[in-house]
């Protein structure tokens, strides 16, 4: 992949976006491409831009547009902005994701609670979506095992999430990066849970 060309493409898309959501999507794509190019510091700037755009877009969203707080949380975690991620987690919880009927809302809640180190509550949310047919089982499993601090089970689940990315034909913004795996790895590492992963869809920082 020509990651530098993708960075430029996403930068232009973000600058010319007709909506905050599209601006956030492109900024996130630029951040992922920059990670893959080994330009972590530049990636952080674009992840921060994505988080700002997605959060601002909530003003025009429906009450169940959980992809926006999820995106903001993931972007801030990837940016290494712990304070920003914690604040975004509190915001996500204030939107009512803990009581969401949809699995994507519960996913938002599980992520937010893990960011805030409320692991027992996060595990409850993850367990609630493990048996849903309308949510990826491996992601729900990985969240539950991170919350439970179970390294063996987490490693198996994380491999399954990575495998699902490797089998995809489509990615957000056509940027082939296993971003969910990177986020899971960050949350797991905070708890001393380590999974050795390697893939063309992971930058060097994800191979740990």
Segment 111-147, tens digit of pLDDT: 999 999 999 999 999 999 998 899 999 999 999 999 9
CATH number, domain containing residue 92? 1.25.40
DSSP annotation of 18 reads S
Q: What is the DSSP letter of 16?
A: T
pLDDT classification of 1: cutoffs 50, 70, 90: confident
Residue 144's domain comprises 3-206
Output the pTM of the full model: 0.95
Which residue is it, tokens 């296993």? 178
pLDDT band at 208 (very low <50, low <70, confident <90, very high): very low
Asked if residue 28 lies in contact with residue 71, where contact means CB atoms within 8 angstroms, the answer is yes
- Token digits of residue 185: 């790895």
What is the per-residue pLDDT for 204?
Answer: 76
Alpha-carbon dihedral 141, 128, 190, 76, rounded to 10 degrees:
100
- Reference 97, options 131, 133, 121; nearest CA is 121
List Cα–Cα distances, 166 to 106, 195, 203, in angstroms: 25, 17, 14
Give the DSSP letter of residue 65: -
Round the CA-based radius of gyration of the chain to a whole number and report it.
16
Residue 206 has pLDDT above 50, yes or no: no
- CA-wise closest residue to 155 among 165, 147, 146: 146
pLDDT value, residue 131? 83
Residue pair 110/127 in contact by the 8 Å Cβ criterion = no
Domain count, the chain: 1
Q: What is the DSSP letter of 63?
A: T
Query: In the chain, what's the furthest Cα-to-Cα distance?
Result: 45
Which spans in the chain are helix H? 3-15, 20-36, 40-57, 67-78, 82-94, 103-115, 119-130, 137-147, 151-166, 179-189
Per-residue pLDDT band for 207 (boundaries 50, 70, 90) equals very low
């Amino acid at each position: 992949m020509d990651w530098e060309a993708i960075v430029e493409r996403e930068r232009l898309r973000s600058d010319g976006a007709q909506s905050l959501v599209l601006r956030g999507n492109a900024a996130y794509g630029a951040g992922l491409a920059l990670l893959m190019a080994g330009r972590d510091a530049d990636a952080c700037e674009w992840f921060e831009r994505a988080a700002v755009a997605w959060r601002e877009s909530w003003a025009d969203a429906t009450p169940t547009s959980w992809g926006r707080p999820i995106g903001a949380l993931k972007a801030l975690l990837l940016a290494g902005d712990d304070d920003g991620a914690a604040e975004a987690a509190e915001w996500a919880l204030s939107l009512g994701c803990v009581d969401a009927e949809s699995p994507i809302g519960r996913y938002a809640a599980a992520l937010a609670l893990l960011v805030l180190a409320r692991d027992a509550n996060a595990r409850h949310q993850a367990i609630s979506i493990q048996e849903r047919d309308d949510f990826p089982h491996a992601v729900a499993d990985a969240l539950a095992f991170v919350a439970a601090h179970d390294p063996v089970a987490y490693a198996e689940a994380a491999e399954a999430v990575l495998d699902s990315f490797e089998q995809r034909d489509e990615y957000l913004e056509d940027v082939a990066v296993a971003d969910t795996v990177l986020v899971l790895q960050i949350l797991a590492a905070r708890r001393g849970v380590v999974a050795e992963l390697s893939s063309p869809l992971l930058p060097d920082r994800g191979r740990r």
